Structure 1
Amino acid sequence: MTRLPQPKDWIQAIHAYVPGKSTGDDGVPLVKLSANENPLGTSPAALAARAAGAAQHPSLYPDPDSTALRQAIAMLHGLDPARVVCGTGSDELLNLAAQAYCGPGDEVVYVRYGFSVYDIAARRCGATPVVAPDNFYATDVDALLACITDATRVVYLANPNNPTGTLTARGEIARLHAALPSHVLLVLDQAYAEYLSPEEDDLGLELARNHDNVLVTRTFSKIYGLAGDRIGWGFGAQAIIDTLNRIRGPFNVTLGGQAAALAALGDQDFVARSRAHNSRWRQWLADEIAQLGNHGLTVIPSHANFVLVLFEGAVSAETAFNALMQAGYIVRWPKGQGLGHALRITIGQEADMRAIAAVLRDLVSA
């Protein structure tokens, strides 16, 4: 009998990441509010730089160290560029953190309703994922700490969290870190940090600046509107960054991507406009849905560029999902994450938000 190559058991246990849909079941394109993309698009300066960068030397490899981009990131945030690493989106860095510090017999801890990549990152290196209970869809620091054992190597925490939008206060982040053993790596996934006000900042970058077991990751996919270019970055102790540099892709950020991200950092006016638009229409949509609370709809308070809506009345999440699709909109129905009773709705243009609210009002009043 012919034997075929066999993957490791822990690879077979992975449920592949399911991206947000962009079309209906019939293949017709819909307004995509399922992937937390920036409804304002991309900074014109970033688009121009991207085109110029990609066309300049297409036969040459990009700078393998993303030197200029790392320096610009460091300057904007007051960091040491030698302690910044760039990745193919923050996803690459989240996966590398587990790959670098975990293996069979080790444990990776994260909160229930956390980003689905954490489970994949743990399993792909043979580690055991350990899921801590939530506190009404938010992070429970005490529950996380109760899961720490001698086998724990990495703790993941998204702040703000995806898919719930909840925020863990800086004092709780500091308390979590202070209680962790020094050999446990705390990975703070700050993909949505730019949507926060200065008062809401969890000071994760300061933790990473001052401690040897903290890695902060960020992305250009959200507020910077460069999701298609897959650019992320991380900041941590020199030893952590040196380790990640050993195993990351050698040319992991493209020529055009480096140029676009560099220009995007320089256009903070676009970032401010994106933040203001998001804040206004996130609150508007949350207020509109809150008025439907007597019909079983609940909005989880969000600090990101989406809202998570619970459907616990006569109208189910599935019914709402299909109705929105019929109206031309695709949102995220995260049933694979234990949230079959919820929809995650990205904040879009004003017309999109008004249309979403109208569909939900019509549904509950039918």
Structure 2
Amino acid sequence: MSVSAKETQRHPARPEPRPGVLAISAYVPGKSHAAGVDKVFKLSSNETPLGPSPKAIAAFQSAGTNLQDYPDGSSTALREAIGKAMGIDPDRIICGAGSDEILNLIAHAYVGPGDEAIHCAHGFLVYKIATLGAGGVPVVVPDREDLQMDVDAIIGAVTERTRVIFLANPNNPTGTYLPFNEVRRLHAALPPNVLLVLDAAYSEYVRRNDYETGLELALSAENVIMCRTFSKIHGLAALRIGWAVASEAVIDALNRIRGPFNMNAPAIAAGAAAILDAEHVERSIAHNDQWLSWLTTELTALGLTVTPSVGNFVLIHFPKTPGRTAAEADAFLTRRGLILRAVASYGLPDSLRMTIGTEEANRLVVQALSDFLSGAER
């Protein structure tokens, strides 16, 4: 036998990823297109219908005249703008290419092979992906029947191998939230070596007196990090901007594995302008308040169940009756150019998630679902 033949027997025919990588189900975003439809309303990704701040657009365009230079590797202008808006020391802030990058940095910094990371059954899919990507073991905790997160179940799932708990508050795709006394109760029950990740991507939309983002807890506790995004209320999803605040030790660890130029210059400039435009944020909040309430009322009047939401989306539940299922509703809406998010991958096969859209889009969805449920055009 030749040397090359022996080598082929000992080694795979091509490079192989480490064990576990190919077992990861890649994240699949909400669909964007409807074949054969002239006008499409994309209501599948929780994007703001008001778009970004004009000031953010101007900053982005200005930064585009100097693309030959590397960006600031520390995202200084963005961190300082966030610090000014939030009253935070910029040194306690880390920025990333969307909060997705920060979630992955957390997993790679604190979760190793065999370590456990806890997330809720209907939580953001990236938590599981990040955990598996780091070689860890995802521990899934069931939610309550009302789709609220179960603090006692989370506490009960903590073991000696637990390193991270991912908690979206408010949660996507359910729209539910935990009052902050419950978050504090959870934190108080955790060993000091377990990092509590408070994912507050939708926090700006919440209008509840018993809700807090987790900022103060992240600033005062050694084992809490709060993550935020510019993709939702700030309307900068295309630029991929996220940020987080935590103890100096946690921020230092994440910066050690963060890419040296993980934020591009136009994103830094646009993000800094966006977070300081409070008037635009208030307009977005007002629009969401109006249409979240309207949609919940109208959809319920059609006989559909809507989980009470504090975000910029609603979770709509459909019966299992043939002709009225979520999958059939999704197909019906798509034919009309109304793109909602199927959430079977979140363990909710009988539901669709709808982003709060423009007045036109919101009214069209309600009319289309009325037609669907009545059997029109079927």
Q: Could you tell me the TM-score, scaled by structure 2's length?
A: 0.93
Match of 1:87 in 2: 96
DSSP-derived class of the 1:79 partner: coil
Instruction: Indicate if the aligned counterparts of 2:320 and 2:350 stay in contact, CA closer than 8 A.
Output: no
- 1:71 offset after TM fit, Å? 1.1
Match of 1:310 in 2: 317
Higher-Rg member (1/2):
2
Aligned with 2:306 (options 296, 299, 308): 299
Q: Which moved more, 1:165-174 or 1:69-78?
A: 69-78
Match of 2:56 in 1: 46
- 1:74 offset after TM fit, Å? 1.1
- Give the 3 Å change call, closer, same or farther, for CA 137–74 of structure 1 in structure 2: same
DSSP-derived class of the 1:188 partner: strand
Identity %: 50
- 1:25 offset after TM fit, Å? 5.0
- 1:53 offset after TM fit, Å? 1.2
DSSP-derived class of the 2:64 partner: helix
Q: Deviations over 1:169-209 (max 9, x none)?
A: 00100000000110000000011011123725324011111
Matches of 2:13 and 2:39 in 1, distance apart? 43
Matches of 1:29 and 1:86 in 2, distance apart? 36
Instruction: Indicate if the aligned counterparts of 1:168 and 1:202 stay in contact, CA closer than 8 A.
Output: no
Q: Which amino acid aligns with 2:181?
A: G
- 1:339 offset after TM fit, Å? 1.2
Q: Which amino acid aligns with 1:72?
A: A
Q: Deviations over 1:280-299 (max 9, x none)?
A: 10110010011123xxx210
Name stretches of at least 5 consecutive residues in structure 1 with no aligned partner: none
Instruction: Indicate if the aligned counterparts of 2:59 and 2:273 stay in contact, CA closer than 8 A.
Output: yes
Work out whether 1:17 is the aligned partner of 2:24.
no
- Mapping 1:226-305, distance limit 5 Å: 226-293=236-303, 297-305=304-312
- 1:313 offset after TM fit, Å? 4.9
Work out whether 1:34 is the aligned partner of 2:44.
yes
Instruction: Indicate if the aligned counterparts of 1:173 and 1:202 stay in contact, CA closer than 8 A.
Output: no
Instruction: Indicate if the aligned counterparts of 1:105 and 1:128 stay in contact, CA closer than 8 A.
Output: yes
Aligned with 2:337 (options 328, 348, 351): 328
Q: Could you tell me the TM-score, scaled by structure 1's length?
A: 0.96
Instruction: Indicate if the aligned counterparts of 1:70 and 1:84 stay in contact, CA closer than 8 A.
Output: yes
Match of 1:111 in 2: 120
Work out whether 1:77 is the aligned partner of 2:95.
no
- Mapping 1:111-260, distance limit 5 Å: 111-135=120-144, 136-197=146-207, 199-260=209-270
- Give the 3 Å change call, closer, same or farther, for CA 246–26 of structure 1 in structure 2: farther
Match of 2:109 in 1: 100
Q: Deviations over 1:130-167 (max 9, x none)?
A: 00010121211011111100000000000110011101
Q: Deviations over 1:275-329 (max 9, x none)?
A: 1101110110010011123xxx210011111000111253100111011111111
Q: Which moved more, 1:197-206 or 1:325-334?
A: 197-206
Match of 2:68 in 1: 59
After superposition, the CA RMSD in angstroms is: 1.3
- Give the 3 Å change call, closer, same or farther, for CA 241–39 of structure 1 in structure 2: same
DSSP-derived class of the 2:349 partner: coil
Aligned length: 362
Matches of 2:38 and 2:32 in 1, distance apart? 9
- Give the 3 Å change call, closer, same or farther, for CA 268–200 of structure 1 in structure 2: farther
Matches of 2:344 and 2:221 in 1, distance apart? 37
DSSP-derived class of the 2:309 partner: coil
- Give the 3 Å change call, closer, same or farther, for CA 171–22 of structure 1 in structure 2: same
DSSP-derived class of the 2:158 partner: coil
Q: Deviations over 1:23-54 (max 9, x none)?
A: 12569772110000010111111101110012
Q: Which moved more, 1:315-324 or 1:198-207?
A: 198-207
Aligned with 2:359 (options 350, 354, 362): 350
Instruction: Indicate if the aligned counterparts of 2:37 and 2:336 stay in contact, CA closer than 8 A.
Output: no
Instruction: Indicate if the aligned counterparts of 2:98 and 2:240 stay in contact, CA closer than 8 A.
Output: yes
- Give the 3 Å change call, closer, same or farther, for CA 129–186 of structure 1 in structure 2: same
Q: Which amino acid aligns with 2:143?
A: D
Name stretches of at least 5 consecutive residues in structure 2 with no aligned partner: 1-7
- 1:78 offset after TM fit, Å? 1.3
DSSP-derived class of the 2:317 partner: strand
Matches of 2:37 and 2:255 in 1, distance apart? 41
- Give the 3 Å change call, closer, same or farther, for CA 185–353 of structure 1 in structure 2: same
Matches of 2:35 and 2:127 in 1, distance apart? 28
DSSP-derived class of the 2:260 partner: coil
Matches of 1:238 and 1:54 in 2, distance apart? 33
Q: Which amino acid aligns with 2:55?
A: A
